[in-house]
Chains A and B, each alone.
Chain A
């Protein structure tokens, strides 16, 4: 047991007032699914509970973007009609985070703040080029996902995730771990594409791989591959070749490389199935 004090608030403005006024070492707890396991409170003097802050829990469709409050749980994201319709990869990723019990508590803001390489939402957010809004004792900031994953400032919380949705896109998320459910990704893959059904062609797209490094990897070669790419019988083979090359480049010399380069091939076929089912049937 460590000696931290704990405080909780119902409104964001009260949280911000507290972190502005306090001078002690402060950390945050939201769902708590990483907090106790990772000993996040061990060196803190003050823990602020965000789990009951109502104005961090929302999903808003603003047309050209979706805004998600940092305290929104994965259960809420997975069940959201907005997310299912407009960012289905995020709904798929949210529904594969841990177990029902974990999803009922774990939040998207916590997933980013914990910055686990295996975080399920992270490749999806990277594929959508999502932004992250924060607030803290130094004011508010707008960050890229990579900036947020590389470290928040002391006493800074993730208030909002912004997912650009400029047009009608199709997206998917797949992962592989040691179990079929409640599994930590050994490799994960997400893609977001704009598709012209009449020409069976991808107009533009972006893919991101998780669990390969500290932040999701978005290969430029895949973005180039997706540009004006007709979907033919070679599509999945060609894409998997590019992603295998990415694995080789990212984790050259690591013991996990042979497994991950084989695993990613399978993930490409799973992802292609998901994406084109969405393209052809929605």
Chain B
């Protein structure tokens, strides 16, 4: 029996590190697009104002990049130390995308980030512009490989289990790469990064408007950021829709928990908040059909027959098959050398039930239900804030185009104060995705109680608190450096500097 406190602390540490990493990643992805658009305008028009604008946001990008760099490496440390069973069990399926990501990220970012920061007066405008775009593309492609790995954990495909090595072996690289869960997760996450970048740029620009300084710069930044942000948010909604369909298909318990849906059926309602429902809406979101069948938590535990006649096994039946798989695995290992004939038979039993392998670790079927409030409320926070921020960006762009943004202090304050909201929305999204798939480290194949290493929980607690201290320190440093950079503002125009020099 694995120590529940050890599992809890290991999960808490991983969650802390992942959440901290996700503070930096979305801003990198979003700012990369915004500053590249600004530089494109500079190259197209030759107006030095746009160069100064792009350079200022590059500076913010650089600070965020520097503080955020390597925070993802800690996750890889944790795989090897805290989740060693998992790391071995997934085999190269998980390692391959992460290795590609590491190599790709290193070479692209080391090359093009350097050209972007150091090359303004060293390389041609077009080459510099290409480097700026490639920096953003490199970060986006890196995110793709990470999300391929994450998508595989949510919906494992393209592999088979080898009981001799106790590892999963990749049989179809394309199936892993084109995993529908990974693809929709990639677009959903990356585009939410555009939204983050846009809200941060708009918020900071509104601070300049509140201070009545660098007005042209602020308004130009607002125009670009709100256009990128609105496009990104609409695309986030579209990809969220395809994500919901995939969750309904591959992780129905996550969807049922996110809706607090005990008993499902056709014309399933969507819960806005407890007690307020839209009839049939959940069926539309999950199946694109108002009559679509959406199973509830009880249906998934008790088993049910889908409208197309498919029999979905009860939790007990899956647990029985899981135990059969584990029993066959144990016997196969014991007989592999001494009795090849018996081993072959055990291997066949294992292969027949391997899809339920992880259920062999489930003692009580309630373990198969994630914490409903921990999934239900973050989902509503994510969607609610997403809608609010979309409305905010539309308003900001509208009033900017009408030349009224400078007078609307309430909108400037709202935009500034909305900066934390976009981060809360992003973190809430990850909570839905990751808490919602509990108890699974790998869906149906390995629960967290089998994935965790046999460690002393005190050691995990110690590193947890070290991370809290280190992460808080680095976050405070970033906020301080960014605040100083914002106060300093964009570079002054040459004529403005001359005028300032004359005054002095």
Q: Do A and B bind each other?
A: no
Q: Which residues of A contact B (CB under 8 A)?
A: none
Q: Which residues of B contact A (CB under 8 A)?
A: none
